[in-house]
Amino acid sequence: MWRLSAAMSHVQRWDERACVAMNRALRVDGMPAVLRAVSWLGNGIFWYSLMLAMLLHDRAEAIRPIVHMMLVGVVCTVFYKVLKHGTVRPRPYQALQSVARGAGVLDAFSFPSGHTLHAVAFSMVVVAHYPLLAVPLAAFSLLTAASRIMLGLHYPSDVLAGAAIGALVAGLSFGV
């Protein structure tokens, strides 16, 4: 048990150091606005816009991928809400004096990153139907994840957990 506790302490220290280091991006001119914009798009606006673009471009053929995204989104939201309220982990800007808050929050807790969870899940679903979107969606998902840490809203472990859960939910949705 001691080894597990020591390992968790080590991970927590790494998590905090990485968060503090990445949060320094807020000091770069123009960077806070860019990070807030990416985070705002990740609130859902990007994904809803993508669904609309798919519908306008492919009409009836886009219905299946859009419904797939919606179902995955519902499952992800359930997981996200249960975990958020079960872990009640404070956000980095609340717990670490050296971390500045760079944007508003949608809820009170840090673990897991819902933005990252949904970005990974939606990207996997869309790429399965539209493989040519793999590179831009991967880039947007990575930017979303990084923005959440840089804005002081999540620890790296929150983002990694969100990505893993999103990938798991999306991956399992293909077997259904």
Residue 4: predicted pLDDT: 73
In the predicted structure, residue 67 carries a pLDDT above the cut 80: yes
**Average pLDDT value for residue range 163-175:** 96
Domains belonging to the chain, first-starting first, are 2-173 (1.20.144.10)
CA atoms within 13 A on the CB side of 64: 7
pLDDT in tens, 7-39: 788 889 999 999 999 999 999 999 999 999 999
The pLDDT score that the predictor gives to residue 2 is 72
Determine the residue type at 30: G
Q: 59-87 in b/e burial notation, b at 16+ Cβ within 10 A?
A: eeebeebbebbeebbeebeebbeebbeee
pTM attached to this predicted model: 0.94
Strands (E), 3-84: none
Instruction: Name the token pair of 106.
Output: 């949608």
Residue 66 has pLDDT above 90, yes or no: yes
